[in-house]
Amino acid sequence: MSPAASGRGAPPAVRGRVQSLTASPSADQNIRMLGWMIANPVIPSFSFGQAARLITKVFIGQMADSERSLSASVIRMLVQLGSKYRAAADHAVYEWEDEERELTEIDQNKKMEVFDKLHSSLLPAISHHLSCLVTSLDLVEHAPRKFPSPKLGLTLETLSSLERTLDQIIVDFAILKTPLPTVPHDHPQDRYKCFRSDRLIANITDLIQGPIHSTLLDSNYFIRLWELSTNDPDRAAFQISIPQAVQTVLEEITESTQLVNKILRFSQISDLDILQEWWQENVDSLDGTIQALTHITHSALGQQRPLSAIRTNLLKEFQTDITFLKLLRTLYDKVSKSATKKLAYRLDPQTDSKALSIMYLDADWMNGSLSLRMSFMFDLFKNDEPHGDIDRRQMDMSQMSRHVDSMLLHIALYLTPLPTAIDHTSPESDFKAWLIMWQVLWHTVITRY
């Protein structure tokens, strides 16, 4: 630094101000010092150019400090929201159900109001906030070697807006548990019945505690990586990790948006459509499980080295599993709806919310139970461990069979195939006969356990 710029030859007070300025260029008071020095030209050689360079240096330091502060605020908010929404929806429903209350007409009107508000404004607002988050985090497609440049202030605003919307939903949507008087299927209030509001609650809970919660966690990881990259002169080390983090956040946001759209669409389709789409999802899920079991079985049997006795026994269980999974798949496929399905159905007009929920939730319970069982069995096979708890296995299969029988009974009671133009036989009697035959086969397979 030149003698003039350092303040050498100037009065001690002035020299102290210059040295303080250059020693701590990020301090706010330095701007005031520079203004004082320029307004009091006691250093003849301290030019406006030198002042401008020092001001630039100060501003750069202040901008870096500000960005670090914003980054810390974004990270802190993402952590708080991630923790907040991990189980917030579940807690809201449990707290509401625990309250003892006498339902009034006001409660019923409030339920319809909340139902409509969710579909008209709150759920679409989630999609809007997530779209804004993509923009604020700069998660668009980037050319190779180009890094995102998040707008941290805008990100904070977006997260605050998302939080307000989610909080409003969590406050409101538990009111959907309010039961309404039973009305005919063609009544306008039929869309507010318990079956639909329960599905809405479950789907919103899955949305908030699933992909939205993951979006918050993954965005936190992305911001931390980006912050590290800005402080590292060798940004090449982040050429792989940052794009991967970006892709993960985008996938979570896409999943969230798709689930919002699904929830909104469910308010427009019939009860039967909701059931049939759910049964079709179970067909697709069973296809994946059957494929995985078949692959393991064929791979193991194709090995040249002999299998252990434990794995040999597990393979026998897998083969039995494949049989009953294929049989369960035929039931779902029979009653679901697909582009190639020729047989159409109708629901009995007297089908109430309880019957609809049983047909839906029995399949839901079996789906969850099968996922746990298959995961457990795969781990046993991988680790070469025996399946020793035979009593527990038989109890699980017996419980699953009860859910199948329950679902089958309600399908037989409330689901009726429609006659076709080319087939003048009785589709209803044929369908009932098919269900009886299927049930006999099911119990034959289950007895093998």
Q: For residues 213 and 259, state if they share a domain.
A: yes
What is the model's pTM? 0.78
Asked if 185 and 331 sit in the same domain, the reply is: no
346 φ/ψ angles, rounded to the nearest 5 degrees = -135, 155
Tokens of 102: 């006498």
pLDDT tens for each residue of 289-307:
999 999 998 888 767 778 8
Domain end, chosen from 268, 303, 331, is at 268
Task: Give SS3 for 347.
Answer: strand
Q: Assess if residue 123 is contained within a domain.
A: yes
Domain boundary among 224, 251, 268: 268
Residue 154 covered by a domain: yes
C-beta neighbour count of 327 within 10 angstroms: 16
Question: Does 178 score more than 80 pLDDT?
Answer: no
Query: Is the separation of the CB atoms in 209 and 89 below 8 Å?
Result: yes
Question: Looking at the DSSP assignment, which residues form a beta bridge with residue 415?
Answer: 347
Residue ending a domain, among 268, 301, 322, is 268
The pair phi, psi for residue 187, each rounded to 5°, is -80, 140
In the chain, pLDDT over 70 holds for what percent of residues? 75
Residue 140 lies in a domain: yes
Please indicate, yes or no, whether residues 373 and 410 belong to a single structural domain of this protein: yes
Asked if 232 and 125 sit in the same domain, the reply is yes
Low-confidence winner among 48-52, 266-270, 304-308, 336-340 (lowest mean pLDDT): 48-52
Beta carbons of 216 and 80 less than 8 angstroms apart: no
Instruction: Tell me how long the chain is.
Output: 449
Q: How many angstroms separate the CA atoms of 77 and 80, rounded?
A: 5
Residue 78 in domain? no
Are 402 and 416 contained in the same domain? yes
Any domain includes 245: yes
| Same domain for 378 and 303 | yes
Number of domains in the chain: 3
Nearest to 5 by CA among 39, 45, 62, 49: 45
Residue 76 lies in a domain: no
CATH number of 308's domain: 1.20.1410
> Is 310 within 8 Å of 384 (Cβ atoms)?
yes
In our burial notation (b when 16+ CB lie closer than 10 A, e otherwise), range 381-414 reads: beeeeeeeeeeebeebbeebbebbeebbbbbeeb
- Binned at pLDDT 50, 70 and 90, residue 29 comes out as low
Same domain for 115 and 166?
yes
Average pLDDT of 383-389? Answer: 83
Which whole number is the average pLDDT over 8-20?
A: 45
- Is residue 74 one of the residues assigned to a domain? no
Do the beta carbons of residue 360 and residue 278 sit within 8 Å? Answer: yes
Predicted confidence (pLDDT) per residue in 339-379, tens digit = 566 678 999 988 999 999 999 999 999 999 999 989 999 99
In this structure, the answer to whether residues 426 and 397 fall within a common structural domain is yes
Confidence class for position 88, pLDDT limits 50, 70, 90: confident
Closest by CA position to 117, among listed 257, 264, 254, 253: 264
Could you say which DSSP state residue 233 is in? Answer: S
Which residue in 323, 325, 234 sits closest to 288, CA to CA?
Answer: 325
Name the band, by pLDDT with cuts 50, 70 and 90, for residue 10. very low
- Please tell me what DSSP assigns to residue 239: T
Task: Say which DSSP state 44 is in.
Answer: T
pLDDT level of residue 232 (50, 70, 90 thresholds): confident
Decide: helix, strand or coil at residue 415.
strand
**Same domain, residue pair 222 and 366:** no
Read off the pLDDT band of 62 (50, 70, 90): very low
Q: Which of 31-45, 205-219, 340-354 has the lowest mean pLDDT?
A: 31-45
Mean pLDDT of the 305-323 span: 89
97 pLDDT more than 80 = no
Indicate whether 283 pLDDT > 80. Answer: yes
Instruction: Report if residue 290 sits inside a domain.
Output: yes
d(CA 110, CA 106): 6
Highest mean pLDDT among 54-58, 132-136, 301-305, 379-383: 132-136
Amino acid at 405: D
Contact assessment for residue 297 and residue 320, using Cβ atoms and an 8 Å cutoff: no
Q: Do residues 123 and 230 share a domain? A: yes
Residues 6 or more apart whose Cβ sits within 8 Å of residue 172: 114, 117, 118, 122
Instruction: Report how far residue 223's alpha carbon sits from residue 246's, in angstroms, rounded to the nearest whole number.
Output: 10
pLDDT, mean of residues 182-187:
61
Are residues 186 and 54 part of one domain?
Answer: no
**Do 211 and 283 fall within a single domain?**
no
Domain limits at 41?
3-62
Q: Tally Cβ neighbours within 10 Å of residue 185.
A: 13
Q: Report the CATH number at residue 203.
A: 1.20.1420
